[in-house]
Each structure stands twice: as C-alpha cells, then as structure tokens.
C-alpha cells in the first residue's frame, strides 16, 4: 500500500502512488527509493525534511 509524506517546511505532500513526474519520479516510486539529492518541488528543501503522514 502506497504511503504519503509531507514536507515540514512547505507542506508539499509526496504521494507514492502519484510520484513526481516533473522531477522524474514515476507513479509508484516508494519514498525510500527516491534519490537523496531529490528536493521538494515546491520549496527546494532536502528529502530529509519529509515525514510520514500517519493514517
């Protein structure tokens, strides 16, 4: 089951089901598989600023 993660700086939500095609992340890309140099598409913060959205 896909999960969602939120950027603690700007609130951008990374939805594994949707990926982030604009930055080359295909739908279904798991958060743990995102390259470490990927940045938030809205505020440019590092991947480390994201946290899991608990259901």
Partner 1 sequence: MTSPTIPVELIAPLFSPQSFADPQFIDVMMREVREKYPLAIAQVPGFAPHWIVSKWADLREITRQDEIFHSNENSKTLVTEAGQQMIYDYTGGKPNVLETLVHMDPPVHGKYRAVAAPQFMPGPIAAREEQVRGIARKYIDKLIAHAPEVDFAAEIAFYYPLEVIMTLTGAPPEDLHKILQMAQWFFNYADPDLKRPDFDPTDPVQVVKTWTMVLEFFNEYGNKIIADRRACPKDDIATILANAKIDGCPMSESSLGSYFLILGTAGHDTTAASTATAMWILAEQPELLARLKAQPEDIPKFIEEVVRWATPVKHFIRTAARDYQLRGQTIKKGDRLYLSYVSANRDEEVFSDPFTFNIDRPANKQQIAFGYGAHMCIGQHLAKMELRVFWQELLPRLDWVTLAGTPKVAMSELVPGPKSVPIRFSAK
Interaction site with partner 1 (CB under 8 A): 6, 8-11, 13, 39, 42-45, 49
> Which residue's CB is nearer to partner 1, number 17 or number 42?
42
Nearest distance, CB of residue 54 and partner 1, angstroms: 12
Which one, 28 or 54, has the nearer CB to partner 1?
A: 54
Task: Please state, in angstroms and rounded to a whole number, the distance separating the CA atoms of residues 54 and 38.
Answer: 22
DSSP character for 21?
A: G
Other CB atoms within a 10 A radius of the CB of residue 37 amount to: 7
Sign of the alpha-carbon torsion through 24, 37, 44, 42: positive
Smallest gap from Cβ 40 to partner 1, in A, equals: 9
């Amino acid at each position: 089951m896909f999960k969602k993660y939120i950027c603690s700086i700007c609130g951008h939500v990374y939805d594994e089901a949707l990926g982030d095609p604009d930055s080359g992340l295909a739908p279904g890309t798991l958060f743990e598989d995102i390259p470490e140099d990927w940045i938030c598409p809205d505020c440019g913060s590092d991947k480390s600023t994201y946290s899991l959205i608990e259901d």
